[in-house]
Structure 1
Amino acid sequence: MALPPLHGFRVFESVARLGSIAAAAVELHVTTGAISQQLRGLQIGLGTELFEKRGRQLALTDSGRLLQKRVAKAMGEIADGVRELSIAHHGERQKIELTLSIPGVHGVAWLATRLFAFMEENQHIKLNVISAGHFNKVDWRRADLAVVYGVPPWPGFWWRLLHGIRLTPVCSPQLLRGPKAIRNVADLAHYRLLHEDDGAQWRRWLSEARSVQSGDSDIYFDDFGMVLQAARDGYGVALSDEVVSARDLDEGRLVQPLALTVPALQNYYCVCSEGNRDREEVNNFIEWLIMQSR
């Protein structure tokens, strides 16, 4: 039997370990459609089913469990080899300190989990992580570079788009039940719209949906984590990106009641001062960030 493309085995290992196509898509930073396509190709190439559906979760078949043991072992050996090479290459290099500013973990959970992989590959780096959501809140006296949520330009700074966000309504599953269940755009009028801005993003979404609702609310938050928690608890409907809310959606704490998505008014950018752009460790980290966000 010819060996299928190796990337398919990496996708298989991620889905088998996490038990979810959506979670694997977040980990590998690709779309759920790309994950499904890779799994389909691998199963066709092997001539056997590797997963079976159990509710919202994917479970390994007997063939899948057999393959997963071998693939997990192989992936572990590859990781060990890369780690040994990194130690051999960087072991005697002087530790370089780098300070990264990122938004709250609710906004860039995909990045926070990957920082540990970066540290494994760059053991000569000592990484300090501080928190700030927007450009004007970053402590540039400490930060060498930052991931920020906003809209450029920022004079005196270099930036690059990391993650283009498309927003769609999310809410607790309980809002899909009962006489006021959300089944169409008009049903949003029964519930509070949850904001992390002045309402502009909801107004844009409602305009695209051709709704006559104003999008106003009686409560506004400056932290996206509080917005998501209020949505989980059933206090209203929020706008979120499927990457940001992947775990909540996969585990059923949030659902997407309506299909329409619209581009966010702001996006995530990697930013550093023009002076820091030429530092090797900053430049390398920026390139790594850009690769992780694709």
Structure 2
Amino acid sequence: MNYRHLTPSMSLLLAFEAAARHESYTRAAAELSLTQSAVSRQVQALEQQLGLTLFRREGRQVQLTDVGRLYQREMSEALGRIRSATLQAMAYQSGGGTLHLATLPTFGSKWLLPRLHDFYKAHPGMLVHINSRIEAIDFETSGIDASIGVASGDLPGLVCHRLHAEELVVILAPEVAASCLGWTPEQLGEQMLLNVANNPTAWGEWFSHHHLPHKAMRIGPSFELTSHLIQAVRAGIGIGLVPRILVEEELASGELISPCVPFASQRSYYLIYPPRNEALPSLRAFRSWLLAQI
């Protein structure tokens, strides 16, 4: 067997990976600063070298074949490891490094960013680029090195460091809180219940914890961002059930009122990343700093 046929040139692999990810030669060409015909020629050259049909061509559209999809999955992972190795070498040489971190928007603004200056004091040669993400991260295609998110347990195939358990608190606007001298769970359950979209079962868990009938729930509007829900509570639209660490300042100042003890949800906050990134100097430094904050 000629092993040269099994190791195509990087230019062919990059053209294929971009075209496969977009299923479009046009978008791949724009990403790689090439012409559409150049991408097409490189993909065809790769197909000829491998003796495989990687794309089906239907007019101006291209779609991955089954073998093309398999090749894309393995190739994307391999290219990710190459990029990671390059970043590690560059970071080691410079004594610094860059970390692309995804985090939940409200957690990032309320908890992480106020503390991040301490990280920079300890590691002045490193940079942390913050990306706000709500959805699950695809580490193969997103360019993200690590993320901070919530989950009910470790995620398969990923390294997960549990930061702390999620404690939820009921929050009311002061004007709403003042309308009743002693709020019971039954009285709270009669209010308009505001939701965060990525945790739709929170109120159901709270009702079960307090042995209240779910049919009594008055489910109100749902919000993508916890910060928007907090603003809605302040405006008196309803009451919220949010992570305590995201409203500690508001509760301490009296901007929001919590009439009952925190409720432990089934989720926790995690630092998450693929195993191949574990040796990144920037990630190792950030991980050590972050775990020391908890």
The alignment's TM-score, normalised by the length of structure 1, stands at 0.61
Q: For residues 132-151 of structure 1, what are the structure 2 equivalents within 5 Å? A: 132-136=133-137, 141-151=142-152
Alignment partner of 1:96 is 2:100: no
> What CA distance in whole angstroms lies between the structure 2 residues aligned with 1:140 and 1:103?
19
- Asked whether the equivalents of residues 199 and 216 of structure 1 are also in contact (C-alpha less than 8 Å), the reply is no
The amino acid of 1:193's aligned partner reads L
User: Where does the alignment leave 5 or more consecutive residues of structure 2 unmatched?
Assistant: 1-92
Aligned-residue Cα RMSD (Å) equals 2.5
Q: For residues 141-290 of structure 1, what are the structure 2 equivalents within 5 Å? A: 141-178=142-179, 183-197=183-197, 199-214=200-215, 215-259=217-261, 261-290=262-291
**Does the residue aligned with 2:105 lie in a helix, a strand or coil?**
coil
1:243 Cα deviation after fit:
2.1
- Asked whether the equivalents of residues 96 and 282 of structure 2 are also in contact (C-alpha less than 8 Å), the reply is no
Give a deviation string over 1:196-254, Cα, whole Å, max 9, x none.
14641111111111222433514222221111111111111111233221111111111
> What CA distance in whole angstroms lies between the structure 1 residues aligned with 2:165 and 2:109?
12
- Asked whether the equivalents of residues 191 and 218 of structure 2 are also in contact (C-alpha less than 8 Å), the reply is no
> What CA distance in whole angstroms lies between the structure 1 residues aligned with 2:139 and 2:279?
20
User: Where does the alignment leave 5 or more consecutive residues of structure 1 unmatched?
Assistant: 1-91
Change (3 A) 1:285 1:129: same
Change (3 A) 1:127 1:177: closer
Change (3 A) 1:185 1:137: farther
Change (3 A) 1:271 1:106: closer
> What CA distance in whole angstroms lies between the structure 2 residues aligned with 1:128 and 1:136?
15
The amino acid of 2:196's aligned partner reads E
The amino acid of 1:145's aligned partner reads A
- Asked whether the equivalents of residues 133 and 149 of structure 1 are also in contact (C-alpha less than 8 Å), the reply is no
Change (3 A) 1:234 1:146: same
> What CA distance in whole angstroms lies between the structure 2 residues aligned with 1:171 and 1:149?
24
The amino acid of 1:195's aligned partner reads N
Report the identity percentage.
20
> What CA distance in whole angstroms lies between the structure 2 residues aligned with 1:136 and 1:100?
10
1:177 Cα deviation after fit:
2.5
Greater strand share, structure number: 2
The amino acid of 2:131's aligned partner reads I
More moved, 246-255 vs 101-110: 101-110
Change (3 A) 1:182 1:134: farther
> What CA distance in whole angstroms lies between the structure 2 residues aligned with 1:130 and 1:166?
24
Give a deviation string over 1:243-266, Cα, whole Å, max 9, x none.
22111111111111123x322232
The amino acid of 1:205's aligned partner reads W
> What CA distance in whole angstroms lies between the structure 1 residues aligned with 2:123 and 2:234?
37
Larger radius of gyration: 2
- Asked whether the equivalents of residues 192 and 237 of structure 1 are also in contact (C-alpha less than 8 Å), the reply is yes
> What CA distance in whole angstroms lies between the structure 2 residues aligned with 1:202 and 1:169?
10
> What CA distance in whole angstroms lies between the structure 1 residues aligned with 2:137 and 2:235?
31
Change (3 A) 1:136 1:282: closer
> What CA distance in whole angstroms lies between the structure 1 residues aligned with 2:231 and 2:185?
22
Give a deviation string over 1:69-121, Cα, whole Å, max 9, x none.
xxxxxxxxxxxxxxxxxxxxxxx944422211111135662221111110111
- Asked whether the equivalents of residues 135 and 149 of structure 1 are also in contact (C-alpha less than 8 Å), the reply is no
Counterpart of 2:121 in structure 1 is: 120
Change (3 A) 1:208 1:115: same
Change (3 A) 1:252 1:140: farther
1:139 Cα deviation after fit:
8.2
> What CA distance in whole angstroms lies between the structure 1 residues aligned with 2:132 and 2:147?
9
> What CA distance in whole angstroms lies between the structure 1 residues aligned with 2:96 and 2:200?
45
